[in-house]
């Protein structure tokens, strides 16, 4: 199988509000990634984008960014979900020998409209939309299942949120103490305002290229998976879809899923209970560094979320002393983690 090098990354945000237009914001991330990879638009063979129409207030939201991602007169595919799922598809294009250099781009601007209103329209239109249920309510229902037989859950989640907020550097998340988080207003019980990842605007771009690991971190395994849409059809105590996505990624990377070791984990957690679901689904334990930059709980752009974790892992692996180490990257999308994506990144030589 071909080795896929992560040749360059670029990211704008997360920021509370990016006053630029969506194409300008996306162009900012693409320019940074191309400069990082030291290539020009002409060397990109194919583009995979991730965006969600309703978030952009625009049907076929990829049409607006075609030019800035350099996709004019080139093949482009669009994923309406997390950017890490777009990365999975970009990697498959290279493994299939279809293309050598693939640009993957994700964007969202939550400042454009009320996110809680938008995610209501991602729910089943007959049984769920008319009730007013959205992704936040779905997260509350899942967190409640976990908290029912766990008296300490809320205190533990508040402490984790406090730590993740404190580690953030984007300025998106207000630093809050554990007791301030426990006293913050209920959003969807048992979740409180201080436990929710602050949402903002941003774009992210990654250049994937067939090559060797001599040039830096490589994408050595990917996997993704979907669960049933209905929350009542699932066992909400587990992210079973994540376990399956993780097993697939491990198989691609020739790692034993039950015994795979990671130096770094970059989970996509919009809420603290999701980090516990991530650890349970992947078997990650205390020997792994988790989200040293605070992860999504320190500032988050939906859709970009999983790709921002890939960029964080890439930057960590490029730091002095981390060459040869291994990272696990995670993204999810849909109510209560219905869709799951995983990438395994190995540091270069």
Partner 1 sequence: MIREEAIKIPFQYAAGTAGSEFLINLRDHRQLTGSRCSDCERTLAPARAYCPDCGREGLHSVNIGPGAELVSWTIVPDKGVFALVRPDGADTAMLHKLLGPIDDPQPGIRLQVVFREERSGHINDIEGFAIVQENGE
Q: Which residues bind partner 1 (CB under 8 A)?
A: 57, 125-128, 130-133, 136-137, 140-145, 148, 185-191, 228-233, 236
Fill in the DSSP letter of residue 196. S
Check: CB of residue 194 under 8 Å from CB of residue 301.
Answer: no
Q: How far is the CB of 150 from partner 1 (least distance, A)?
A: 12
In the three-class reduction of DSSP (H, G, I as helix; E, B as strand; rest coil), residue 289 is classed as strand
Q: Which is nearer to partner 1, 225 or 346 (CB)?
A: 225
* Residue 298 near residue 312 (C-beta atoms within 8 A): no
**Cβ closer to partner 1: 132 or 324?**
132
Tell me how far, at minimum, the Cβ of 246 lies from partner 1, in Å.
21
- Closest distance of CB 139 from partner 1, Å: 8
Q: Which is nearer to partner 1, 1 or 126 (CB)?
A: 126
Name the DSSP class of 300. B
The two three-digit tokens of residue 150, written as one number = 């766990």
CA atoms of 49 and 61, how far apart (whole Å) = 10
- On whether the CB atoms of residues 341 and 308 are closer than 8 A, the answer is no
Query: In the complex, what is the shortest distance from the CB of residue 136 to partner 1, in angstroms, rounded to a whole number?
Result: 8
Give strand ranges (E) for 86-200: 101-109, 186-188, 191-192
Nearer to partner 1, 18 or 247 (CB): 18
Tokens of 95: 């493994």
Nearer residue to partner 1 within complex by CB, 183 or 186: 186
Q: Encoding tokens for residue 77? A: 């595919």
Handedness of CA 317, 342, 307, 290 (dihedral sign): negative
The residue among 57 and 283 lying less far from partner 1, judged by its C-beta, is 57
Q: How far is the CB of 192 from partner 1 (least distance, A)?
A: 11
State in angstroms the smallest separation of the CB of 231 from partner 1.
6
- Is residue 25 left, alpha or beta, with left meaning phi > 0 and alpha meaning psi from -120 to 50? alpha
Output 35 or 114, the one with its CB closest to partner 1.
114
Name which of 108, 343, 60, 74 is nearest 208 in CA terms: 343
Nearest distance, CB of residue 267 and partner 1, angstroms: 22
Minimum distance of partner 1 from residue 237's CB (angstroms): 10
- Closer CB to partner 1, residue 51 or residue 188? 188
| Distances 67 to 30, 59, 71, 97, 188 between C-alpha atoms, Å | 11, 17, 6, 25, 40
Least spacing, CB of residue 105 vs partner 1, in Å: 23
Query: Closer CB to partner 1, residue 190 or residue 215?
Result: 190
| Torsion angle in degrees (nearest 10) through CA of 167, 173, 176, 178 | -70
Beta-bridge partners for 344: 221, 328
- For the chain, helix (H) and strand (E) counts, in that order, are 10, 12
The answer to whether 323 and 348 have CB atoms below 8 angstroms apart is yes
């Amino acid at each position: 199988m071909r080795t896929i090098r992560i040749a360059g990354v670029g990211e704008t945000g997360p920021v509370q509000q990016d006053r630029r237009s969506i194409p300008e914001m996306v162009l900012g991330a693409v320019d940074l990634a191309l400069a990082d990879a030291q290539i020009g638009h002409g060397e990109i063979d194919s583009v995979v984008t991730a965006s969600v129409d309703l978030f952009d207030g625009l049907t076929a939201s990829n049409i607006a960014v075609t030019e800035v991602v350099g996709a004019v007169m080139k093949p482009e595919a669009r994923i309406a979900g997390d950017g890490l799922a777009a990365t999975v598809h970009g990697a498959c294009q290279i493994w299939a020998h279809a293309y050598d250099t693939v640009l993957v781009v994700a964007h969202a601007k939550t400042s454009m409209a009320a996110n809680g209103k938008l995610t209501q329209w991602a729910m089943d239109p007959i049984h769920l939309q008319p009730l007013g249920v959205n992704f936040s309510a779905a997260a509350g229902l899942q967190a409640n299942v976990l908290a029912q037989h766990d008296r300490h859950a809320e205190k533990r989640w508040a402490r984790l949120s406090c730590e993740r907020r404190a580690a953030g550097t984007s300025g998106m998340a207000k630093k809050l103490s554990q007791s301030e988080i426990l006293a913050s207003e209920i959003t969807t019980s048992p979740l409180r305002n201080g436990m929710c990842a602050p949402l903002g605007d941003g774009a992210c771009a990654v250049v994937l290229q067939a090559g060797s690991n001599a040039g830096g971190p490589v994408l050595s395994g990917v996997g993704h998976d979907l669960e049933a849409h209905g929350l009542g059809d699932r066992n909400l105590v587990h992210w079973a879809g994540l376990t399956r996505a993780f097993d697939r990624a491990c198989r691609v990377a020739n790692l034993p899923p039950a015994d795979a070791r990671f130096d770094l984990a970059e989970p996509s957690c919009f809420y603290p209970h999701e980090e516990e679901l991530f650890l349970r689904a992947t078997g990650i334990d205390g020997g792994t560094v988790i989200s040293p930059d605070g992860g999504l709980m320190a500032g988050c752009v939906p859709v970009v979320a999983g790709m921002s974790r890939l960029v964080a892992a890439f930057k960590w692996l490029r730091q002095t002393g981390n060459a040869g180490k291994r990272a696990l990257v995670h993204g999810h999308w849909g109510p209560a983690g219905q869709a799951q994506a995983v990438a395994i990144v190995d540091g270069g030589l």
